[in-house]
Amino acid sequence: MLKFTEEHEWLKVEGDVATVGITAHAAEQLGDLVFVELPEVGASFSKGGDAATVESVKAASEVYCPLDGEITEVNEAITADPALVNSDPMGAGWFFKLKLKNISDLDGLLDESGYKELIG
């Protein structure tokens, strides 16, 4: 199942764990990424919390935690090579895996057609 936030994060959900990253639209808007800071494994976040930071040649931006949960894994490959986020934002450029506190919260997120409508 694929879900999206209005803040341009995507979630690929398998059971009660979501792989989280930024959308191709967000990566395009940011431009070439030069730095990524990821959260610590084991850290807990509330929906909307600042979970990660990205810096591009244009600007710095936060990546928000899309739902309440705990970080179970981070993608160290993107800290070593931030360009992975630009080249494959919804694949190899994922940011972290989040064990969802309440899986029913997914109902409040956008599906793919709702996200496409949001970005026009």
Q: Any idea which residue has 């030069």 for tokens?
A: 34
CA 47 to chain centre: 12
What's the pLDDT at 58? 87
Residue 72, domain member (yes or no): yes
Q: What is the CATH number of the domain that holds 66?
A: 2.40.50.100
Q: What is the pLDDT of residue 24?
A: 96
For residue 70, what are the β-bridge partners? 44, 99
| The pLDDT of residue 56 | 95
pLDDT along the chain (120 residues), means of 10: 96 97 96 97 97 94 97 98 97 98 96 96
Would you state the pLDDT for residue 11? 98
Q: Is residue 109 part of a domain?
A: no
Q: How many domains does the chain have?
A: 1
- 113 lies in a domain? no
Which range marks the domain in which residue 76 is found?
A: 1-102
Q: Is 93 a member of any domain?
A: yes
